[in-house]
């Protein structure tokens, strides 16, 4: 429970900093270990590599009790259809892990 609270607070702080234009490189969240977690993370990493407009995936979190998986996708600022890309990744993950819901937070890459 403490881990979830920490991640929620950290996400809120990072979100507020992004809104204010403060960039903190290198803050990433992840949880758990184990076969299902490792398989999910590897699967989403493989899927993400198929989309050149996706620059990064981070903040991968699996809530095994609620059967939800959360992660952020950093999408190139110039990319079109960012929401469609994020939805495609979520749908493809759902096909592999039907019992889980996938919540994707869309970030934009704005660096040079």
**Residues 68, 58: Cα–Cα separation, whole Å:** 16
**Residues 55, 49: Cα–Cα separation, whole Å:** 9
Among 36-40, 42-46, 107-111, top mean pLDDT goes to 42-46
The strand order across the sheet containing 68-76 reads: 54-63, 68-76, 101-109
pTM: 0.69
- Each domain of the chain, given as residue ranges in start order, spans 29-109
**Residues 42, 103: Cα–Cα separation, whole Å:** 17
Q: Which class would CATH give 29-109?
A: alpha beta
List, for residues 78-88, the tens digit of each pLDDT value: 888 999 999 99
């Amino acid at each position: 429970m403490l881990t979830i609270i920490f991640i929620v607070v950290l996400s809120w702080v990072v979100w507020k900093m992004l809104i204010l234009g403060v960039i903190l490189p290198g803050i990433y969240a992840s949880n758990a270990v184990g076969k299902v977690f490792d398989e999910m993370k590897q699967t989403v990493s493989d899927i993400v590599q198929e989309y050149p407009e996706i620059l990064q995936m981070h903040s991968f979190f699996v809530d095994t009790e609620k059967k939800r998986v959360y992660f952020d996708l950093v999408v190139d600022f110039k990319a079109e259809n960012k929401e469609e890309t994020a939805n495609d990744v979520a749908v493809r993950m759902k096909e592999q892990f039907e019992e889980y819901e996938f919540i994707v937070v869309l970030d934009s890459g704005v660096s040079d």
